[in-house]
Structure 1
Amino acid sequence: MEEPLRGTVRWYLGRREEQATPFYCDPERIGAFAVAPEELAAGTDAAVFRLFVTLSMYQALRDVVITRQQRSLPRASMRVVADVAFLKQSISQHQCPTLSSVEAFEESCDVTKTRERVDCGQCPGVACHVKEATVVFNRMGDMGKLPTSAWLRLWNGGGVGTLLKRVCQDELSPTKRAALLVEHFAGVHRVGRKLATMFVSALSTPALAPGLTPWFPAVDGNELVVVDTNVARAVDALCEPGMSRTYDTRERWVREQATKIDLREFRPDLPRYSPRLVQEALYAFCSKSNRVALGDACAERTTPCSGCASVLCPFAASMEGADAVAS
């Protein structure tokens, strides 16, 4: 079913011009978590760390819920979870033995959240940045470990630039470099493959955010595919009956379909082949709550639409509910 996919890509590219700034650089959408475009373009450690934590918050809840939370948090709260300098200082000044290494931290840090109470067994009653992060995230207790895990794994001892340099030395292919980086970032506590792919591709896929992808062309994220619930449901609706419904098979399906769509037909400045852009089109089209939040005219329709890709339309009864975010 190539036509619905083409219709989705056409719809997406026709609306991208209206949103030139990616949401993660827009303070009106995510408040203090927004990364300054000039810092992101330069690829500074501080900007990349803030982007990583900001995107890692988008798990298990709808995007509109997370953006509302980020927008409501003051700068002081953002610093607790997404300011790399603040985190480095907090770790160096704390005496908790779990902070001695990433292994000790991820195995022994036992911060928990019980209703409104956040504490741990290692240093009960003692304030720390992990407990503060848990309060800021206001989710399950162990999510507060995410920023510290990221710093200990990837930013400690030279920053992410060191990792990037090593990957570029070890692997010659820019697309394979992107896949290797996804593996590294997916290892951070409570991140995983989907969020790591979203992060790496944000830094290495110019078609998504022109001028704001400092890792490209050394790292090329065009072949990466983020499979969230919206994309999974879209693939399942378009693929051949009986296809296995796993992350890998859905990812492979998007890549295969992307080979059949020359994106230059829609706009000459785009690459010929970009599964990531095709996948983003599916995500943007199928996310009902995001489209409503952005004032999409289709949300106000009272009769079925004959255009775009009706088989995937989130406002059609057949696709209702395709809006939860997979972790």
Structure 2
Amino acid sequence: MDERRLEMLREFDRRGSVTATAAALHVTPTAVSQQLHLLEREARATLLRRVGRGIELTDAGHELAAASVHLAAAREQLQARWDRYRGQVAGTVRLAVFPTAGQRFVPTLLSRLTGQPQIELIVSDLDVHSDDYAAYADRFDIVIAHRPVGDPSPVGAHDGDSFTVVPLVRERLAVAVAPGHRLADRHRVRPVTLARESWIGVPADWPFDRLLTQWFGAAGLTPHVVQRFEDLRMQEALVAAGHGIALLPRDSADDRGGQRLRLLDTIDGEPTRQIEAILRPDRAARAVVAEVLDHLRLLTAH
């Protein structure tokens, strides 16, 4: 079976329409339809069925798309091994990272890569909901994601075996208060102590919101969230101004040595997030992507 047609089949399986597949592959919708029908002949099976004015994959189509992922990964592994043998690990890697991880890791990552000018790293900052990680893995070579420790991977049961998930580091969260807050001199706090506090949170059901809800829920309480922001810097600014408290990543918060914020450890639970890299297996197999991922592993290990 033709590899280019199998790639079209995988894209169609991911995107669900001929038009979206054509846009992703920079071809016409007519070309996509023609190539998928030719693949049906090669496979000697019905891969497509008409639904209204469109088409969708049959069970056989889904099965072939899933199986072809391994073929694409094997091809990239072969190329990667040959590139390493020839000493030619080079190319462009597109990295998507949420803001606090970007601030913490990207400067050092770029510094590590200055000695490898043959590798071009293009970074985009994206703070997306966990449900979107799979879609972004189609657009980027590496997606840096985070989730509450204990939660299943957001792509673990999605799309068969179409993802590689690489754990990088765990980061504890702390309760951030202003230096003038009544609890600023405490080292640790528990939910019952904070029952009457106003919280500056993130959008509902985002990782930090789930961690806060779980921590309070274990004590039979519900946090009083008065403001919600996607940008943690907005949370920091409001907390520093005395408008509430927040649950922030201990290693990433801009506390300025306690002069701007006081970070208090938690009792009766340790809200912690898992930071991990999500990749498509065929992209993970590329030598240049593996090289960047190795740098990420090393710098997050310290």
Same fold (TM over 0.5): no
Q: Between Structure 1 and Structure 2, which shows a larger proportion of helix residues?
A: 1
State which structure, 1 or 2, has the greater radius of gyration over its C-alpha atoms: 2
Higher relative contact order (CA 8 A, sep 6+): 2
TM-score interval, smaller chain: under 0.3
Q: Between Structure 1 and Structure 2, which shows a larger proportion of strand residues?
A: 2
